[in-house]
Amino acid sequence: MSSFFEGLNADVLDYMCTLLYISHDGRKSLKALSSTSRRMRITALPRLFRTMRVSGSSRKCTDSMRDILAFDKPLQYARTFKVYLDGLREPFRGDNRANAAAQAQVPIDAMTFSATLVALLEAAQGIQHFALVARPNLATFISSLLNPTFVAAGIRLDNMTSLNVPSCCVALADACPSVVRLQLDVSRGTSEEEEGAEARIWGARTGLTSLKITLRSPKDLNYIQVVTQSMQHLAKLEIRARMRFSAEISRLGHLLGMHTLTIRQYESPRDPEQLLAVRTETNETKRSARRFLPQLRILRIGGAVYDFSKLQTDNLDELDALEAET
């Protein structure tokens, strides 16, 4: 088998790796194939390490990142790095003394995690997409420790084009000037003044073309209005929240270049009264979008897609009759 692969040219090997990588269990199969010959291993490496992820407590994530930093190859080929941070300490069930000791270790683990993450991002300058998925209760840690660690390091990630982070992780707004796709998770917990300052920091990324925002607590679209005020290139906006969107869409009227708007509710309707209310809200949302966003081509409401480019007139009856595509 090894001699067979050695006889193939680089383009054929690359094509084989590509087809295998995009298959159902691509990474697992590609890893197995890469062990068959030295040439196949060299060809497969960029795909095997293209996307990397760590998950768990801060200590577990730190250990995983240190393992990655110990080798040059993974960092050389990494283009996407994802961190799923469950908490600042390991789940522990034991006596009070052991629990107290584990709790006392939390600040050290948090500082070590922050420093290691900065070191990894600085070392892997080829990364184009970074995701930090953290529970809302970690907002204080991000604001008080992770942000200052980024700032103190003076980190700059010019190749980063896509971010998925908690909105409180504002240090990355300045560190990643080339971002064009942004996903923010906004949690209530800060004052209106702090929330406004946070929104203005992200709003300075005026080159965005795609923005996704999750609003964890019931609120209006004021936060999004502030964030997007100067985003003249924004073409796609997705909002996940719990609110009457029909009453809020007017806040997006300044987005003259936006052609696709997606809105999603947290909860799905269950009883007949809720279903009726949803149908009424859907029609009102369609009308508001048509009125305040006349350039909009696609409106997605949950799983339904409304193609406004099919409308021949501004007649409301025609708009109400526009059927959803799925």
Domain ranges of the chain: 1-48
Q: What digits encode the pLDDT tens for the residues 79-123?
A: 999 999 998 776 655 666 656 656 667 788 899 999 999 999 999
Q: What is the DSSP letter of 206?
A: T
Q: What is the pLDDT of residue 293?
A: 95
User: At residue 107, what is the residue type?
Assistant: P
Rounded CA separation 326/315 (Å):
24
Q: Is residue 48 classed as helix, strand or coil in its secondary structure?
A: helix
Q: What is the pLDDT of residue 73?
A: 75
Greatest pairwise CA separation for the chain in angstroms: 72
pTM for this entry: 0.84
Closest by alpha carbon to 56, among 88, 28, 23? 88
Q: Which helix (H) or strand (E) holds 237?
A: strand 236-241
Helices (H), the chain: 2-6, 10-21, 26-34, 38-48, 58-69, 72-77, 96-123, 139-141, 147-153, 171-175, 192-203, 222-228, 272-292, 316-321
Q: What is the pLDDT of residue 101?
A: 58
At residue 139's C-alpha, the angle toward residues 158 and 117, to 5°, is 40
Q: What is the pLDDT of residue 258?
A: 97
Rounded CA separation 77/19 (Å):
18
Q: What is the pLDDT of residue 280?
A: 86
Quick one: angle between helices 38-48 and 10-21, nearest 10?
Answer: 40
Contact at 8 Å (CB) between 223 and 199? yes
Rounded CA separation 83/324 (Å):
36
Rounded CA separation 60/116 (Å):
12
Q: What is the pLDDT of residue 171?
A: 96
Q: What is the pLDDT of residue 147?
A: 96
Give mean pLDDT in consecutive 10-residue pieces for the chain, a chain of 326 residues. Answer: 59 69 65 68 73 92 94 84 87 61 75 96 94 92 94 95 96 95 85 86 94 85 93 95 91 96 77 76 93 95 92 89 84
Q: What digits encode the pLDDT tens for the residues 303-314?
A: 899 999 999 988
- Cα-Cα-Cα-Cα torsion 140, 146, 148, 154, nearest 10 degrees, comes to -160
CA dihedral sign, ordered 247, 248, 252, 254: positive
Q: What digits encode the pLDDT tens for the residues 144-181?
A: 999 999 999 999 999 999 999 999 999 999 999 999 99
C-beta atoms surrounding 197 within 10 Å = 13
Q: What is the pLDDT of residue 6?
A: 61
